[in-house]
Amino acid sequence: MAGSSFGTILKVTTWGESHGPAIGAVVDGCPAGIPLEEADFESYMNRRRPNGGPFSTKRTESDRVEILSGVFEGLTTGTPISLLIRNSDHHSGDYDNLKSLFRPGHADFGFTAKYGIRDHRGGGRSSGRETAARVAAGAIAAKALRLLGVTFETRVISIGGIPFEESEKIASFIEECRARGDSAGSEVECIARGVPSGIGDPVFDKLDSRIAQGIFSIGAVKALEIGDGIRASSSFGSENNDAFYMEDGSVRKLTNHAGGILGGISDGSDIRLHVFFKPTPSISLPQQTVSLEGSDVPLTIRGRHDPVIGPRAAVVVEAMTALVLFDSMLLNMTARFSRIQDFYRP
């Protein structure tokens, strides 16, 4: 299947289906010498892992990442890093009735139209489960970035339009959604701090366009804002421009409406993203659909599904952003001949 690889120097390929024996990622182009052990993946994986809580599917997976290659004596070796995550808690029988039906809002129709065959069990390759492999790959990028002074602050902003801090309101809203057999949309914010200026390339590989590709590759993402995003379209230039000033010999900005990127290149301020998720497509309310044979049929979906995607996908947003940023920082190493001379000059 084309389109399963992402990145230029740091190239990530994910593989596997929701109800296959395992899923995983191969991370090629990672520089040698980064300290890396299985424990580095744990906190990242736990943030995405279904935990039986109010915001997640009842499917439980340990999501332990096994490193099969590319790490020796606790350091990356510069060779492909192969990561394996076993699938264990799948109930494929729950999906039997979906073999010949298209779930509204899901990828079923598109996959059938394109390939003529699809693994319908748990959504196959289009399942949110695939994102576990990206999170594992992203954990490597996040670790490298941390060592380079880049950190992330990622959180859920709202669920169904309700601010996430209103925890009681959110809890009863989700409970009502679940009880009704419905799902809700959500919004996630991701801020990357400490990104040096000068990262990203002009024109087609602008940092914002590369981030957008990474973020829009996550299932259920319907919109992305960088900096003020949509609000910039209704503001004046005099409000939207971030004034520059000098501080301790460095160029700084008084405000950050741009979200840390100017001309496709980072400006040294925080990179600020807002990501908008549609409601989970698999709902248990009765729906109308069409069968493979071409007849109109009623649909009832079984199986275990997330009532809302943002809380589990927040770390996926962070992982994709980390992959783009680390790759872009690696690409930046060849931007100036003087740096190449510094390295190779005899």
> Rg of the Cα trace of the chain?
21
Instruction: Write down the least CB distance from residue 147 to ligand FMN, Å.
Output: 27
Instruction: Write down the least CB distance from residue 250 to ligand FMN, Å.
Output: 38
Single out the residue of 84, 150, 299, 313 in contact with ligand FMN (rule: CB under 6 A).
313
Q: Can you name the residues that pair with 246 across neighbouring β-strands?
A: 251
Instruction: Give CA–CA dist 264/311, Å, rounded.
Output: 29
CA angle 184, 188, 190 (to 5 degrees): 170
Instruction: Write down the least CB distance from residue 345 to ligand FMN, Å.
Output: 47
Q: What are phi and psi of 322, to 5 degrees?
A: -60, -40
With binding defined as CB under 6 A, does residue 282 bind ligand FMN?
yes
Burial 18-56 (b: 16+ CB within 10 A, else e): bbbeebbbbbbebeeebebeeebbeebbebbbbbeeebb
Query: Smaller CB distance to ligand FMN: residue 7 or 124?
Result: 124
Instruction: Give CA–CA dist 177/180, Å, rounded.
Output: 5
Provide the CA 337 distance to its chain's centre, in angstroms.
34
Instruction: Write down the least CB distance from residue 108 to ligand FMN, Å.
Output: 9
Task: Tell me which stretch binds ligand FMN (CB under 6 A): 86-94, 127-135, 161-169, 202-210.
Answer: 127-135
Q: What is the contact mask toward ligand FMN in residues 214 to 243, using x (rule: CB under 6 A)?
A: ----xxx-----------------------
With binding defined as CB under 6 A, does residue 266 bind ligand FMN?
no
Alpha-carbon distances, residue 89 vs 1, 13, 45, 169, 238 (angstroms): 25, 24, 16, 31, 55
Which residues within the stretch 44-103 sit at the binding site for ligand FMN (CB under 6 A)?
A: 57
Single out the residue of 316, 320, 323, 331 in contact with ligand FMN (rule: CB under 6 A).
316
With binding defined as CB under 6 A, does residue 107 bind ligand FMN?
yes
Instruction: Give CA–CA dist 53/156, Å, rounded.
Output: 15
Query: Smaller CB distance to ligand FMN: residue 265 or 274?
Result: 274
With binding defined as CB under 6 A, does residue 306 bind ligand FMN?
yes
Of 315, 229, 311, the C-alpha closest to 277 is 311
With binding defined as CB under 6 A, does residue 106 bind ligand FMN?
yes
Single out the residue of 281, 324, 327, 329 in contact with ligand FMN (rule: CB under 6 A).
281
Burial class (CB in 10 A: 0-12, 13-18, 19+), 178: middle
Single out the residue of 131, 158, 266, 332 in contact with ligand FMN (rule: CB under 6 A).
131
Cβ neighbours of residue 146 under 8 Å, at least 6 residues apart? none
Query: Smaller CB distance to ligand FMN: residue 34 or 314?
Result: 314
Single out the residue of 7, 70, 128, 227 in contact with ligand FMN (rule: CB under 6 A).
128
Q: Which residues lie near ligand FMN (CB under 6 A)?
A: 57, 106-107, 126-128, 131, 218-220, 278, 280-282, 305-306, 309, 312-313, 316
